[in-house]
Amino acid sequence: MQPGTVSPEPDRQILRYVPFQSKVTQGFWQGLSDLKLETLRLSEDPLDILGYFAPSNYENLSPQFQIDDESFRPILPASDTPAEAARRAQHEVPGTLHNLNSIERFAAFDKQAAQRAVNQQIWQDIRSGAAEAHPQLLQRFLLFTFADLKQFKYHYWFAFPALQPPAPFTLAQPIASLVNAMGPAVAQQVAAACQSWRERAHLQPQSNGSPGERHSAWLLLLAQDGSHVTHHPLNSWQQVQQEAARQQARVLLACDDPSASERFPGWPLRNLLLLAAVRWGIQEVGVVCVRCLRGPVSAQRCLYVHAHMPSLPPGWCEPDGCPSSIGWEVGPVPGKLGPRVAELASSMDPHALAQSAVNLNLGLMRWRAAPALDLERLTATRCLLLGAGTLGCAVARTLLGWGVNSMTLVDSGRVAYSNPVRQSLFTFEDSRGGATPKAQAAADSLRCIYPHVEAEGRQLTVPMPGHPLTPAELSQAEADAAELDALVAACDVVFLLMDTREARWLPTLLAAAHGKLAINAALAFDSFLVMRHGPPPIDAGFMTSREGHPRSGRGHSAQPHRLGCYFCSDVVAPVDSTVDRPLDQMCTVARPGLAPIAGALAVEVMAAVVQHPAGIHAPALDTSGTRFGGSGGPEEECSVLGPVPHRVHGRLSGFTQHCLIGQAFSQCTACSACVVERYKQEGWGFLQHALQDPKWLEDLTGLTEVQQQAAAAAERMDLNRVGSLGSLAASDEGSEGWNAL
Amino acid sequence: MQPGTVSPEPDRQILRYVPFQSKVTQGFWQGLSDLKLETLRLSEDPLDILGYFAPSNYENLSPQFQIDDESFRPILPASDTPAEAARRAQHEVPGTLHNLNSIERFAAFDKQAAQRAVNQQIWQDIRSGAAEAHPQLLQRFLLFTFADLKQFKYHYWFAFPALQPPAPFTLAQPIASLVNAMGPAVAQQVAAACQSWRERAHLQPQSNGSPGERHSAWLLLLAQDGSHVTHHPLNSWQQVQQEAARQQARVLLACDDPSASERFPGWPLRNLLLLAAVRWGIQEVGVVCVRCLRGPVSAQRCLYVHAHMPSLPPGWCEPDGCPSSIGWEVGPVPGKLGPRVAELASSMDPHALAQSAVNLNLGLMRWRAAPALDLERLTATRCLLLGAGTLGCAVARTLLGWGVNSMTLVDSGRVAYSNPVRQSLFTFEDSRGGATPKAQAAADSLRCIYPHVEAEGRQLTVPMPGHPLTPAELSQAEADAAELDALVAACDVVFLLMDTREARWLPTLLAAAHGKLAINAALAFDSFLVMRHGPPPIDAGFMTSREGHPRSGRGHSAQPHRLGCYFCSDVVAPVDSTVDRPLDQMCTVARPGLAPIAGALAVEVMAAVVQHPAGIHAPALDTSGTRFGGSGGPEEECSVLGPVPHRVHGRLSGFTQHCLIGQAFSQCTACSACVVERYKQEGWGFLQHALQDPKWLEDLTGLTEVQQQAAAAAERMDLNRVGSLGSLAASDEGSEGWNAL
């Protein structure tokens, strides 16, 4: 026997207690998952949480200790008011949560140290008097967890520390029901006082409208023999004691008791008895263990415990200066201490599980790699994908990976037999009979992959310059152009993923007219181009910067220095390139690895732009580190995802990749101010002219003049072999024949 | 009326003919597709083909001219012997095929020029006597086509040129059946002679076993009044003529007649009559139009045509020196000349269509971009994919795009809810209930995409060094290691796509032991590594070079200078990296664009190696152009797909990509000679030791010594802060924490 411990007095029966059984709601685990993902990330710092218990209200129900989604109230900002009615019946007590990062750290958790820390807190609160003012401090608890968010599997272990006196509390007389112990009349009065205590607290909302302080589970009763019983808070011991002496009344302790047993009280009695022994120095005390029956306090069910305190010799809790405690919960094996596991996967709705799993993976990126990532901004970006071929499918899949929730896919074709092996949203079944339109099949496929995505398919032909149209086709083209205009207006980002150069003209113009970000991807046999178009020539304030970010004085004015679009390097208007194409150009032949690479890069460029504070105005960096655009300092160069390129050129032969910068061309047939202005003013009238006669576009933009000057210069330089003006095109697309699939 | 033309003699009825109807079998179109894909590519040069016709054999059947898969016999190397029995009844005639590259070129095809060329040939053959020796030359035909291989749509137009005499042939007496014209007895004798002619040719196989020359459709008959009728070839006109004069017999022409009409003979008569007029100068001739009835020649069905020739004034076919012709086939609109279209998509088996469409797309790469591409070598490469997560799915899809037909996917996991949005072979349904093993789901998905692929899934855990094993787990690990060894032995390329470093150790060793190409892909948050492992340390002649390529004296000897493997840059053995991993490392977090890029690059690196003549020994080039390995000149640096890198490092932040070279490390724990030798000698005994005790591996390879030297050096240099030996690892994986998904 160690110094300071005392053996129990041998004649008396030892007082025993029914331990808590923890009950953790699914809401708590969901809350913990969100908290870990959004806030805690890799932190293992202990957290303040809340737990709940109530007096026993039904027979044969084991004493429960509950934690739920409200348990995070001390951590989370004010959330919706909880279901108050149910809660009022429960007592809220403080706890400490240690959430650990791995199963190994869970297994190796230093339980003793954590337990000692809680012991100290309780002991401190008892000795300082804090526990009399706030008796819930007596029931502090401890919880440590490992949340395996991938498997929806939660490992946990509770402790409800009960500080140990030097010897057990004993019974001065056997435990009996309140009625048996005091007789029916007094028992009824005692029960009525307890009920009144409970109701009083309920009926006093505070002046600010919030519910009043809850009644405590621990209280004092002043019982005048044969007459009145009154209730008093725990911290009025001295007054009540004096009053009792004056009135020759008895002071009883009362304690809401979660135990339903007729023989044993519940756990909360333990620290209360210690407090009485330590703070008030009493040797014996009568305690009413308050229990209810379907609502009101039941004199029949309440127990009366007449406890005898052990003597507390000086220095009894040395060497720690604090008593030790017991209270770790038993595990799944009855009677054996150990952690428990909650597996939620099977009980949750699969759709909800999928959504939560996907959000988990996205959120994980913020833990270590990119804490500043504005995921919500990315996932809320509405994307319009023009083309649902190899590039369209690759882009859609990468967008899905980023959690982008709204996609509209546009394609005029149907799934062909050769498509599924390269176009990652289609299967053989889609190509049978050639019946399924690509846009629809792609949207359906996206929903099969992730039911929560909002994907829509539109079967639509993008009107193209230089493709002659019959009068019937002309009215269809007008309708198509109007639909496309509406689609561009309704999105945030337009992806240009078509298989001809000229199909990109109208979308480029529409993106410029509506001030939307355009991302372009195009393939040749073993090389690709991925680029973002520059900001529109006339900044009308569309989607140009993050809310609240100063746009450094840009107004509704032409911008002479800006990044170019896909057509800015051309000196001819786009014309029909499909006429007389041999088969290999019709279904553009590319190394199979190109489309997934270009599609993924297109999305990553988009992500970098969207994450940049300047959005579409983000400055560009090329491979050599040269910067274009932006008015601020070097900190403006990067988004949280790194620098934002303008044009990424890659080649599989040699596995090279470079970032280049191309300035906007004031005579561009697609994005120059005069083209955009004319479209805004004249709409279809302008388009019709441009579509039917691309040469007219060249006159309009001044390209014709540029061509003539170039031709004259060539003649002067005796470079007559340059014959065709087309060969003056400076663009690498022009010379390499970029095509998208 | 032009000079040289002559009006018909007014009293006589003009002889009219039933034109051919072309019949093109699906086999012909399939053959043309293959030919274009494999041989012609972009060539539009005219091709010699064959066509077939037969005497009418049934009433009411229009005269057919057939082309089929045998029509390519003049072009293709000796193929299987065709169905001779059916063919013997048909006459084979030569034709010219112009296959054009686009629908526009088809529409603009210069029909007159092509027709004039055939006219010239026929005219030449008539005048030279060649057509008498080889009468099939009289029935030359012309065909021009555009094969839209993507849509299985074939545009075509036939001409059966009939050279025009200065005036039409006329009838000296009305056309009648042979019986009516000659009486039953003579008619029977004539029919019998024709039947004999047909049979004679059939019964004379040549001495070399090949079928004898087919009987001609055109012949001479010598008919002695009331008695004997004999058959003679066309080029015996002079002798038959003399014999007829001597015997006072009649010479008749005979001609197998595809027409079933009782009033009109078929097309083949036309050029025969012209030949008779031009070569023999006769003015009248009796022609037997030979027809059959369900097999034998039928006297009842044969027509007798008594033709009157127009006079042929000198220079009648000037100015061209050749008569003009008629004979373009009518199109789908009755009576109107025009091209026809065969659309085969709906009539073909969808699985066959898919296969043919996929092969088309692959074959197209050889047309212009990479004519030397050895597609078959690539598609026959058997690939083992270790890991069916984001990288595994991306690799499998790109392999499918390259036409790789055999894939085995290995994974121990099941599809989780978070997988489908990033792992491109899975859908939400696969993750429901978490029931589907990934390897199986991935293989099933590949077959859904392309039913012809041979994809297999194996649920298997790769044994990993430093993951402690219980005795039960040990026997499972032994079985797993044996299965993995067998899988590596049975494949050509191993892809390492797992999510831990140590899972790559055993496959790296197995690839080195079996001399297989290993391709490795690993991801960090926004960067990736894709590399091929170098050749094995002991070259036992496995899969090291293309058949027949000299391996420059390498034998069964250790190779000191070779490219490294994934572990060659380490100075510690791989250990369990999953112990105590927080959640974000458990499901490695990467920007969603990384896996499709790294997966696609892994396959493209593999393709470049497989296409390189030196295979696994291909020299490597880095970004700066520095070369490592290979004994030959600069021509050895490239495969047809470009230079072959060793390590490709890419980063999404900044969008950079570089090729680096790393030499093999003689103390490597995975690919050094001593490790590979020990595994080959001891098998599981060695593995068990290495798996249970990675430190032992370090002793074995001499790494321990290297570490001690490094530690000593560090101490001497007073770099005590380098404390942990792990931090000496030079690999970027080590410092950046590469993980695969």
Quote the CA–CA distance of B146 and B531 in Å, as a whole number: 44
Per-residue model confidence as pLDDT tens digits over A696-740: 888 888 888 887 887 777 666 544 333 333 322 233 333 333 333
The residue with greater pLDDT, B725 or A119, is A119
Taking phi over 0 as left and psi of -120 to 50 as alpha, with beta for the rest, A146 belongs to: beta
Please check whether residue A699 is in contact with residue A669, taking contact to mean a CB–CB distance below 8 angstroms: no
Quote the CA–CA distance of A307 and A330 in Å, as a whole number: 27
Judgement on whether residues B623 and B667 belong to the same structural domain of the protein: yes
The answer, for B468 touching chain A at a CB cutoff of 8 Å, is no
The answer, for A628 touching chain B at a CB cutoff of 8 Å, is no
Confidence tier at B213 by pLDDT (50, 70, 90): low
Res. A649: pLDDT tops 90? yes
Q: B322, B587, B638, B674: which one is catalytic?
A: B587
The answer, for A446 touching chain B at a CB cutoff of 8 Å, is no
Per-residue model confidence as pLDDT tens digits over B509-561: 999 999 999 999 999 888 999 999 999 987 544 333 334 333 333 333 445 57
Q: A587, A638, A671, A674: which one is catalytic?
A: A587
Residue A717 lies in a domain: no
**Span B247-274, average pLDDT:** 94
Question: Would you say how long chain B is, in residues?
Answer: 741
Q: Point out the residue among A42, A429, A655 whose CB comes nearest to the CB of B582.
A: A42
Neighbours of A699 (CB within 10 A): 12
Which residues in A lie closer than 8 A to residue B364 (C-beta atoms)? 583-584, 587, 589
The answer, for A578 touching chain B at a CB cutoff of 8 Å, is no
Residue B195 lies in a domain: yes
Judgement on whether residues B529 and B665 belong to the same structural domain of the protein: yes
Which residues in B lie closer than 8 A to residue A401 (C-beta atoms)? 421-422, 592-593
Closest chain A residue by Cα to residue B641: A653
**Span A113-135, average pLDDT:** 95
Per-residue model confidence as pLDDT tens digits over B162-190: 999 999 999 999 999 999 999 999 999 99
Please check whether residue A421 is in contact with residue B440, taking contact to mean a CB–CB distance below 8 angstroms: no
Per-residue model confidence as pLDDT tens digits over B86-115: 556 789 999 999 999 999 999 999 999 999
Q: Residue A583: what pLDDT?
A: 57
User: Catalytic site residue A668?
Assistant: no
Closest chain B residue by Cα to residue A396: B421
Residue A37 lies in a domain: yes
Testing the interface with B: which of A362, A417, A425, A444 to mutate, by most B Cβ within 10 A? A417
Cis, bond preceding B319 (omega within 30 deg of 0): yes
Testing the interface with B: which of A102, A591, A606, A649 to mutate, by most B Cβ within 10 A? A591
CB contact under 8 A, B583 and A149: yes
Testing the interface with A: which of B361, B405, B576, B738 to mutate, by most A Cβ within 10 A? B361
Residue A109 lies in a domain: yes
Q: Measured over all CA atoms, what is the biggest interatomic distance in chain A, rounded to whole angstroms?
A: 127
Judgement on whether residues A332 and A394 belong to the same structural domain of the protein: no
**What is the domain-level CATH number for residue B109?**
3.40.140.70
Please check whether residue B416 is in contact with residue B434, taking contact to mean a CB–CB distance below 8 angstroms: yes
Question: Would you say how long chain A is, in residues?
Answer: 741
Residue B588 lies in a domain: yes
Please report, for residues A124, A175, A274, the alpha-carbon distance to residue A168 in angstroms, rounded to integers and kept in the order given: 21, 16, 10
**3-state helix/strand/coil string of B329-366:** CECCCCCCECCEEEECHHHCCHHHHHHHHHHHHHHHCC
The answer, for B421 touching chain A at a CB cutoff of 8 Å, is yes
In three-state secondary structure terms, A579 is coil
Judgement on whether residues B340 and B384 belong to the same structural domain of the protein: no
Res. A650: pLDDT tops 90? yes
Domain range holding B257?
13-200+213-345
Per-chain mean pLDDT for chain B:
85
Judgement on whether residues A392 and A514 belong to the same structural domain of the protein: yes
Judgement on whether residues B148 and B226 belong to the same structural domain of the protein: yes
Q: Point out the residue among B398, B579, B648 whose CB comes nearest to the CB of A104.
A: B579
Quote the CA–CA distance of B608 and B591 in Å, as a whole number: 27
**Span B200-214, average pLDDT:** 48
**Span B246-254, average pLDDT:** 92
Helix (H) or strand (E) holding B496: strand B493-496
Per-residue model confidence as pLDDT tens digits over A571-620: 777 776 666 556 555 556 899 999 999 999 999 999 999 999 999 999 99
Please check whether residue A649 is in contact with residue A479, taking contact to mean a CB–CB distance below 8 angstroms: no
The answer, for B201 touching chain A at a CB cutoff of 8 Å, is no
Judgement on whether residues B296 and B379 belong to the same structural domain of the protein: no
Q: What are the backbone dihedrals phi and psi of residue A646, each rounded to the nearest 5 degrees, phi first?
A: -100, -60
The answer, for A607 touching chain B at a CB cutoff of 8 Å, is yes
Quote the CA–CA distance of A395 and A392 in Å, as a whole number: 5
Q: Are strands A627-628 and A620-621 parallel, antiparallel or unpaired?
A: antiparallel
Judgement on whether residues A324 and A450 belong to the same structural domain of the protein: no
Residue A655 lies in a domain: yes
**What is the domain-level CATH number for residue A597?**
3.40.50.720
Q: Residue B394: what pLDDT?
A: 98
Which residues in B lie closer than 8 A to residue A649 (C-beta atoms)? none
Judgement on whether residues A292 and A408 belong to the same structural domain of the protein: no
Residue A340 lies in a domain: yes
Judgement on whether residues A534 and A630 belong to the same structural domain of the protein: yes
Closest chain A residue by Cα to residue B375: A591
Question: Rounded to a whole number, what is the distance in Å from the CA of B383 to chain A's nearest CA?
Answer: 16
Neighbours of B719 (CB within 10 A): 11
Per-chain mean pLDDT for chain A:
85
Per-residue model confidence as pLDDT tens digits over B722-731: 333 332 223 3
Report B:650-679 residues touching A (Cβ under 8 A): 650-657, 659
> What is the pTM (predicted TM-score) of this model?
0.75
Judgement on whether residues A141 and A88 belong to the same structural domain of the protein: yes
Q: What are the backbone dihedrals phi and psi of residue B144, each rounded to the nearest 5 degrees, phi first?
A: -125, 145
Q: Residue B575: what pLDDT?
A: 72
Testing the interface with B: which of A361, A454, A576 to mutate, by most B Cβ within 10 A? A361
Q: Point out the residue among B101, B150, B597 whose CB comes nearest to the CB of A418.
A: B150
Residue A83 lies in a domain: yes
Closest chain B residue by Cα to residue A402: B592
CB contact under 8 A, A398 and B593: yes
Model ipTM value: 0.74
Per-residue model confidence as pLDDT tens digits over B25-56: 888 998 898 888 888 888 999 999 999 999 99
Helix, strand and coil percent figures for chain A, each rounded to 5: 35, 20, 40
The number of domains in chain B is 2
Judgement on whether residues B285 and B431 belong to the same structural domain of the protein: no
Res. B5: pLDDT tops 50? no
DSSP per residue over A431-470, as a string?
Answer: HGGG-SBHHHHHHHHHHHH-TT-EEEEEE-PPP-TT----
